[in-house]
């Protein structure tokens, strides 16, 4: 969702080509965001008349002309297409959701053991709604970078977006330098409403792409911080639950996370979101308890493993994917389930150490599964 002004707005050089992602207000008018999704002085105002004429939606990428400072006068392209080509486009809410059925394979030649472990214990498909449950200092940021690199390398057909909320500025810089995709970030010094607006605009942008049949992958860090932002931004007078949580604080995050799906009509939205655990906050515990049942894949990181410098600190028994049989070929499914049975008598540390040792002895997961099971075809 990286957008720019094609030329600086200049009153002496009109009309001016402009481009940006549309953010709408409740009054029907909007603005083209040109600074990574954030409001800025360079934003171009979009009159309500243009929104109605072209059926513009929040998250549309608009290219057009500006004939006076910061006001759009003509729409030339919407999401890379002529406006007339989008007449009758479906609404995301009307698309039929299905279980993930096409796998997003993460292992890469010579790549990190972490992505190979994810493929084995919690496989991901297009349209997955996955939670990466992470106590503090368990390596979630590095894991997200590795997943992002794998998606970019193995699935160039997917539009990759990384959304960082309430994050440290140096982590944002590191992610932008390491990820081949859109990185949208709101740092911890920004107000809660800005975190919320950025996350919502990113998902709306993804929905517009899915409506056109595209596959989108969003890595969100973190869903817990989004819940905190909604809780902090809640108006006074609402019902307060245990831990100081506003009763309505989870509605927005659940709606956003629930957008992840594969659609029968074509296109998919995959969201892998981190959820913070064991932070010492009663509010965070409440958020996690409410969110953990909403995903269809869970990868749990373990603080005890991370403290012993065993990475990736994946708790294998507590990680998994619902309906994994829809993603794995029959032979691979049999081998993976056999692997779990063989390891289940060990504690999480022993399980991970054995798995890492065997993985490092083989060039890829197909070879690894053949070694332990005998008959697993190449992927």
Q: pLDDT of 32-91, one tens digit each?
A: 998 788 888 888 999 999 999 999 999 999 999 987 778 898 999 999 999 998 888 999
Task: Please determine, for residue 346, whether its predicted confidence score (pLDDT) is greater than 90.
Answer: no
Rounded mean pLDDT of the chain?
Answer: 89
Q: Can you say how many angstroms the Cα of residue 304 is from the centroid of all Cα atoms in its chain?
A: 27
363 three-class SS: coil
First to last CA, the chain: 32
- At 16, list the tokens: 């001016």
The span from the CA of 285 to the CA of 224, in Å, is 9
The span from the CA of 321 to the CA of 330, in Å, is 16
pLDDT at 307: 94
The span from the CA of 274 to the CA of 257, in Å, is 11
Provide CB contacts within 8 A for 261, sequence distance 6+.
95, 97, 98, 127, 129, 268, 269
pTM of the model: 0.90
**Max CA separation in the chain (angstroms):** 75
pLDDT at 11: 47
Q: Which residue has the higher pLDDT, 69 or 160?
A: 160
The span from the CA of 75 to the CA of 60, in Å, is 12
**Least confident segment among 110-119, 195-204, 243-252:** 243-252
pLDDT at 238: 60
Neighbours of 312 (CB within 10 A): 24
**pLDDT band per the 50, 70, 90 thresholds, residue 14:** low
The span from the CA of 11 to the CA of 49, in Å, is 23
- Total residue length of the chain: 379
pLDDT at 261: 97
pLDDT at 63: 93
């Amino acid at each position: 969702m990286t957008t720019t002004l094609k030329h600086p707005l200049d009153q002496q050089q009109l009309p001016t080509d402009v481009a940006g992602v549309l953010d709408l207000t409740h009054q029907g008018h909007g603005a083209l965001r040109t600074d990574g999704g954030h409001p800025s002085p360079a934003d171009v105002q979009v009159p309500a008349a243009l929104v109605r004429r072209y059926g513009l939606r929040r998250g549309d990428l608009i290219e057009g002309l500006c004939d006076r400072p910061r006001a759009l006068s003509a729409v030339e392209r919407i999401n890379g297409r002529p406006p007339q080509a989008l007449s009758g486009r479906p609404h995301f809410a009307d698309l039929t959701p299905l279980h993930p059925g096409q796998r997003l394979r993460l292992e890469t030649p010579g790549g990190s053991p972490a992505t190979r472990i994810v493929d084995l214990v919690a496989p991901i498909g297009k349209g997955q709604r996955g939670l990466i449950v992470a106590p503090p200092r368990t390596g979630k940021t590095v894991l997200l970078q590795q997943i992002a690199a794998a998606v970019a390398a193995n699935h160039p057909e997917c539009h990759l977006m990384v959304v960082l909320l309430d994050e440290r500025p140096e982590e944002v810089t590191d992610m932008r330098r390491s990820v081949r995709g859109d990185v949208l970030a709101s740092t911890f010094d920004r107000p809660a409403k800005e975190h919320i607006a950025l996350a919502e605009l990113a998902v709306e942008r993804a929905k517009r792409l899915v409506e056109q049949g595209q596959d989108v992958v969003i890595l969100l860090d973190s869903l817990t911080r989004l819940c905190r932002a909604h809780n902090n931004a809640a108006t006074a007078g609402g019902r307060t639950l245990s831990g100081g949580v506003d009763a309505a604080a989870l509605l927005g995050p659940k709606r956003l996370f629930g957008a992840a799906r594969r659609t029968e009509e074509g296109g998919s939205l995959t969201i892998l979101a981190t959820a913070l655990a064991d932070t010492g906050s009663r509010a965070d515990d409440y958020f996690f308890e409410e969110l953990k049942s909403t995903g269809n894949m869970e990868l749990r990181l373990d603080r005890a493993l991370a403290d012993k410098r065993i990475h990736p600190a994946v708790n294998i028994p507590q990680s998994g994917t619902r309906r994994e049989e829809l993603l794995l070929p029959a032979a691979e499914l049999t081998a993976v389930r056999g692997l779990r049975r063989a390891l289940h008598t060990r504690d999480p540390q022993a399980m991970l150490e054995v798995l890492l040792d065997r993985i490092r002895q083989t060039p890829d997961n197909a070879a690894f599964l053949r070694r332990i099971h005998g008959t697993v075809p190449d992927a």
